Amino acid sequence: METKKEIVNVELEKLVPYENNSRNHTDEQISQIASSIDEFGFTNPVLIDENNSVLAGHGRVKAAELLSLKDIPTVKILGLTEKQKKAYVIADNKLALNATWNDEVLQNELQDLFNSDFDLSILGMNENEINSFLGDSLNNIADEKDYVGAEEITLDDIDDFKHECPRCGFNFND
């Protein structure tokens, strides 16, 4: 099937969110997207149909609203049937989730950014995820901190110790 595409800036108030979008965006994620737009610009246009209904980019639209942007770049996709639009909204969200990370490459990239004092908080990763890749680098910094008042864990406390792996979510001592 051939569809026509047209790149246009559209005023935020003219965009219509897809009412059955099954993807949820937390306030924290919207803030992360807004930080990314602040840092890198609006590099990923929102996909809309001929009626300005959002097919992909609901989070970017909410982030643009948070940033009080007046208009944003969109790609208008013409020629999809209603069923294709419905399927595309799901596929666009799910297909990205099917990707995996090359942990070694990611660790090297994060280490390079960390070493250059780049603000890692705008990458969309939480502190545990970053720590899982940069643990040794961050431990060197942590060793320099003052731990006055820190509690020591004794062997008696081990039964009450709970820990979740930041990479896979495995709960120890469950």
Domain extents for the chain?
A: 4-97, 103-172
pTM for this predicted structure: 0.72
Enumerate residues 6+ apart whose C-beta is below 8 A from 9.
71, 72, 73, 74
Which residue in 64, 66, 78 sits closest to 8, CA to CA?
A: 78
pLDDT at 147: 45
pLDDT at 161: 59
pLDDT at 155: 59
CATH of domain 4-97: 3.90.1530.10
For the chain, residues with pLDDT lower than 50 are: 141-149
pLDDT at 127: 86
Over pLDDT 70: what percentage of the chain? 76
pLDDT at 139: 56
pLDDT at 145: 41
